[in-house]
Homo-oligomer: A and B are copies of this chain.
Amino acid sequence: MKRSEDTEKRIIDAALELFVRKGYHGTSISEITQKVGLSKGALYAHFSSKGELLLHIIRKFKTSFIDQMIQTVNEHKGDALAKLHSTITFSSKFALENQDLCVFLTFLTTELKADVDFEQPLKNLYRDYQKFISQLIQHGIRQGLFNRDLDPDMAALAFMALHDGVLHQWVLNRNHIDGERYVKTFRTIFMEGLKVR
């Protein structure tokens, strides 16, 4: 890896860690450079603005999570139920391995939804995600696996909602929650519901 690439990565990692802890506006460029051990001028040689640094992180999330998830699940042989399981497995695993990235991106919208520069890229992320899950659920309904009363788009939103919410709750309780047990509960409730059968 070239030296500049390495520095770029270090900047992104530091920025991400600060952003996820203190928010985008709550984190200053000075804090980031301090964390990396770099001068301000050096950072601006790699990223033309604070916003550009953020857009880098957004793009990274799209290519490494959304795109990869869609590809992985599409390659999975099996019915809609198996594919939905595969989706949950993929996103749980990814979220566990890229905690900061996932948590930050999931809740970035709540801070920046009114921002001219970031509103559209963020909404696009969610649109792609929803479309994918919705199609999966449509398949499941056609195959007689899922409750046919469900509106696929709504159910997809509920899926993402649960996913976002799990992340949120997990952030709040990182220290005293067993991640795997939590994901298992999540999966059970989404698939089977709360009631006894």
Contacts and interface: CB of A to CB of B under 8 A. Distances in A.
Contacts of A168: 106-107, 109-110, 161, 164-165, 168
Interface string A174-197: 000100011001101111111111
Interface residues of A, number: 61
A70 interface: no
Interface in A130-163: 137, 140, 144-151, 154-155, 157-158, 160-163
Nearest to A126: B172
A111 interface: yes
Given A126-B172, A181-B151, A186-B161, A145 B111 contact: no
Interface stretch (A6-14, A21-29, A38-46): A21-29
A120 to B, nearest CB: 12
B182 A115 contact: no
A177 B160 CA distance: 15
Contacts of A123: 172
13 contacts: A26-B112, A107-B168, A110-B171, A126-B169, A137-B194, A144-B196, A154-B182, A155-B194, A161-B186, A165-B165, A189-B193, A192-B193, A197-B197
Interface of A: 21-26, 81, 84, 103, 106-107, 109-115, 123, 126, 137, 140, 144-151, 154-155, 157-158, 160-166, 168-169, 171-173, 177, 181-182, 185-186, 188-197
